[in-house]
Amino acid sequence: MQFWHWTIVYYVAINIMTFILYGVDKKKAKNHKWRVSEFTLIALAMTGGCIGAIAGMFVWHHKTKKTKFRILVPLSLLLHIFLVCFLTYQNNHLVVTNYSYKTDINCRIVQISDVHNMVPYWDDDALARKVAEQNPDYIVITGDLVDSTHPDIDSAIRTAESLAKITDTYYVTGNHEKRFSEAKQAEFLQSLRDVGVIVLQDEYVLLTDNSGREFVLAGMDNDSIGTPAGYALIESFPEQTVSILLAHQPQYIYSGAYEGADIVLSGHLHGGQIVFGDLGNGMPNNRGTGLISPEFVFFQEFSYGFMTERGTAMYTSRGIGNSIIPWRINNYPEIVVLTLHS
């Protein structure tokens, strides 16, 4: 679920509960029975039930003369208005991260990763407009275009179609697409092809850069990472040709799963959800570490950023959407622009 889904569910639930408890406490007070503690009533307001608390105070005529309730409950409301605005900005402020890498080819690639059905700014065209402004030669989508917890196939296809209208767009599966049944996967991938997206499943294409040089663009299926099929894909690359590999999960670089590819574009880790300090955009070998990965690994190394390992350069995108953990802090959704130059 995305930020707004979780936020609405949480606030509705806690405010209903708070309103009911204020009424229960008022009734118990009239009957001289065991009471809900004032600490609990104020704590409910401060943890998000402030609207329910205010409604309960006036509907049930309860605690309206208590100074601490008259001060703390309205303050809680102001605090949560600020918190919602802050998290809304943090989770919807789409940024562009520019990277430059010296190699034998010259082209501009835009990477989109981990959309998870997210639509920034509640605008279907916002992502495509921002991508188009970068004037890419090629667009790559490195998995998790949909979210398996609330799959919206139509939204994902619309997003893909809007990108494919800009320039040649290539796609590789992520772990969320692989959770679908085989039939649903096949249907989804065919829908992508129908709108002009080129799906790469353990295969590569030869593309041409702005100088007329050929290079390899390959896509490793999520289920093939670290398997014989994945190794065979890399071994099939033509020699003396720059190779760019799309592979959803970055952590496999340490086991050598991507060894032999010149450049890997990845995602999956959502930047660690919460980032402390400077994101270090554009800095070489910035092995960024966020607080927690989607697999609930704390402080996983290389949650985002650019690094080299075993002769392979890798960029891990922070992605755009969220999944199990619905909030980002100091970890804006990003479009990656990778400029390759000789």
Which of residues 271 and 293 earns the better pLDDT score? Answer: 271
8 Å CB contact between 280 and 266: no
Rank 214-228, 262-276, 307-321 by mean pLDDT and report only the highest: 214-228
Q: Domain 95-341 class?
A: alpha beta
Dist. CA 280–CA 129, nearest whole Å: 25
Band (280; pLDDT cuts 50, 70, 90): very low
Amino acid at 189: L
Is the Cα dihedral 199, 129, 1, 302 positive or negative?
positive
Dist. CA 210–CA 223, nearest whole Å: 33
User: What is the structure's pLDDT at 285?
Assistant: 42
Closest Cα to residue 101, out of 285, 296, 331?
285
User: What is the structure's pLDDT at 316?
Assistant: 93
* pLDDT tens per residue across span 229-246: 999 999 999 999 999 999
User: What is the structure's pLDDT at 211?
Assistant: 93
Phi, psi (degrees; rounded to nearest 5) at 272 = 80, 10
**Helix axis angle, 67-92 to 3-30, nearest 10°:** 170
Mean of the pLDDT values across residues 307-333? 89
State the chain's mean pLDDT as an integer: 90
Dist. CA 235–CA 299, nearest whole Å: 33
8 Å CB contact between 221 and 172: yes
For the chain, percent of residues with pLDDT exceeding 70 = 93
* pLDDT tens per residue across span 110-120: 999 999 988 65
Mean of the pLDDT values across residues 94-103? 93
Tracing tokens 């800009």 back to the chain, one arrives at: 166
What is the pTM assigned to this prediction? 0.86
Q: Cβ atoms within 10 A of the Cβ of 123, count?
A: 12
Mean of the pLDDT values across residues 103-113? 96
Dist. CA 23–CA 9, nearest whole Å: 22
262-271, 281-290, 320-329: range with lowest mean pLDDT? 281-290
Q: Where are the domains of the chain?
A: 3-90, 95-341
Closest Cα to residue 15, out of 43, 44, 52?
52
User: What is the structure's pLDDT at 278?
Assistant: 61
Strands of the chain (E only): list them.
Answer: 95-102, 107-112, 138-142, 169-172, 198-199, 203-208, 214-219, 243-246, 263-266, 305-309, 312-316, 334-341
104 exposure class (CB count in 10 Å sphere: 0-12, 13-18, 19+): middle
